[in-house]
Amino acid sequence: MGSDLPDHPVCVLDASSYVGFWILKGLLSRGYSVHAAIQNKKGGEATEIEKKIMEMAKEDDTKLVVFGVDVLDYQSILVALKSCSGVFCCLDFQDPYDEKMVDLEVRGAINVVEACAQTDSIAKIVFTSSLTAAIWRENICSEKDVDERSWSDQSFCRKFKLWYALAKTLSEQAAWALAMDRDLNMVSINPGLVLGPSVSQQNPRSTMAYLKGARVLLFYERPKCSRTEFWPT
């Protein structure tokens, strides 16, 4: 987004995810104005991260504006994106991932990218996916590189109920297909273990999902792989 601060704010959606929260903090520390889009939840109290964001907004409502969004409600996304120059899409859900959550995340990713296409001020999309979208498949140990051509195998993920990995795989694929069709400027980031200062007592779901998949792959592929392929020295 350049070294100079844009005239328009930057949107972080979902700002209440672990990655989203630290992107939000980083942008504010560098002087950016931010639209913090937080997914609406049915019932229940606000999470620790959501409470922190609300407190931050009260301290400086000129730089930080909070929006409630429903990723299945296209219009609510448009409201949060209005006048923004870019968006960090960090979709993550508090509920445990299952087949229904996979569908929800894919539909949400499509809605976010389409909303960006309909927002003239958006110049760039940074789509946060996961390393789990690229590495969970058979014979992974025989591959030397993991790059933009690498995708997790959908059948493998379904077989071992790696729903988080499947959600990230399908949602990133859908986002890329739509971004290319709409001629949008998009990049994706695929972190593995998400580590950093604690924000809440709950571990980042992306980290726990990565460890679950690693355990499955370890026991499934172990006869085919050497020790150093799992634990490099």
Residue at 4 is within a domain: no
Per-residue pLDDT of the chain (233 residues; tens, 9 = 90+): 445 666 799 999 999 998 999 999 999 999 999 999 999 876 667 888 899 999 999 998 889 999 999 999 999 999 999 999 999 999 988 778 889 999 999 999 999 999 999 999 999 999 999 988 998 888 777 667 888 889 999 999 999 889 999 999 999 999 999 999 999 999 999 988 777 776 655 555 555 665 666 666 555 555 455 444 444 43
Residues belonging to the active site: 168
Beta-sheet pairing, 34-39 with 124-128: unpaired
Structural domain tally of the chain? 1
Residue at 1 is within a domain: no
Contact 23, 13 (CB under 8 A): no
Query: d(Cα 136, Cα 162) in Å, to the nearest integer?
Result: 9
Range of the domain at 186: 10-230
Q: What is the token pair recorded at 156? A: 């493998």
Q: Give the CA distances from residue 172 to residues 27, 112, 175, 221, in Å, rounded to whole numbers and listed in that order.
A: 23, 12, 5, 25
Residue at 3 is within a domain: no
Nearest in space to 78 (alpha carbons), one of 35, 142, 141: 35
Residue at 34 is within a domain: yes
Alpha helices in the chain (DSSP H): 18-29, 48-59, 74-81, 99-117, 132-135, 154-159, 163-181, 205-221, 227-230
Specify burial of residue 207 (Cβ count, 10 A radius: 0-12, 13-18, 19+).
middle
The CATH number given to whatever domain includes residue 107 is: 3.40.50.720
Q: Could you give the 3-state DSSP secondary structure of residue 36? A: strand
